[in-house]
Amino acid sequence: MTKGLRVTAVNCGPLTLDKGVLMTGTSGTITIPTAAYIIEHPRHGLMLFDTGINYRVADPEDAEVYWGPGVRDAFGCSLTRDLAIDQQLDKLGYKPTDVKTVVLSHMHFDHAGGMCHFPHATFVVQKTELRYAWWPDAFSKAVYMYNDYKDTRDYRFVQLDGDIDLFDDGSVRLVTTPGHSPGHQSMILRLENRGTVCLGADSAHLQEAYRTLTCMPFDWSIEAETATYHRLRQLELAGMELVFSHDPEDFLKFPHDGDWAD
């Protein structure tokens, strides 16, 4: 097990919306975090798992241009400038240029929004997701914000086609978990004092949805999502802790606001 791997969760864009958007058959208003994970690797430096919502959305007027008319209000976004990923790094004493690797679970607006801060990093994404983001189906278009990645053509991408041991040392593994999006992937971390943790991102939005095998109405593929739920159950059987990026209780399971877990 790699010693010294440290991780903290940061909320890069709270959203307040109807619970039925996150879990079919439910209702009522819920406020959820948009988690990104800042990870310090002893040999490979600073890395991110997702980048949250773009900083321009913090300004309601600018959001009308960047996301489009009414979109910020439709998603109940309450991002403030200090919550954007570059400012979250600053709170931990880092600069965007310190980030060596950015892993994207997928490229929806609340996960790929901060790509602009890291033009010198290496981006790790499933090839299927990268291609789909550039030309999504009409029913998915609302959650792929072209402005997030329109200037990234010259970025350094590692396009994956399946599972991988990212650094070939067992510390960080990426596993395909499609369904919410076609190229969704999750990250498995081996932490010295905590054990194995799977950052499930949006493979489910809430633990309640995952436990009851309930998908969300706007998932890319219900069939693929259901298969992913069963894959995650297998990972749990292997002893992994499973957390999701938008579950409010899961967010609190990781240190945040400048604290580290190892």
Boundaries of every domain in the chain: 6-253
114 with 152: CB under 8 angstroms? no
Tens-digit pLDDT string for the chain (262 aa):
446 789 999 999 999 999 999 999 999 999 999 999 999 999 999 999 999 999 999 999 999 999 999 999 999 999 999 999 999 999 999 999 999 999 999 999 999 999 999 999 999 999 999 999 999 999 999 999 999 999 999 999 999 999 999 999 999 999 999 999 999 999 999 998 889 999 999 999 999 999 999 999 889 999 999 999 999 999 999 999 999 999 999 999 887 654 445 5
Q: Are 81 and 177 spatial neighbours (Cβ–Cβ below 8 Å)?
A: no
Q: 36: closest CA among 96, 103, 123, 135? A: 103
Tokens, residue 143: 């959650």
Give the fold, CATH level 3, of 6-253.
Answer: Metallo-beta-lactamase; Chain A (3.60.15)
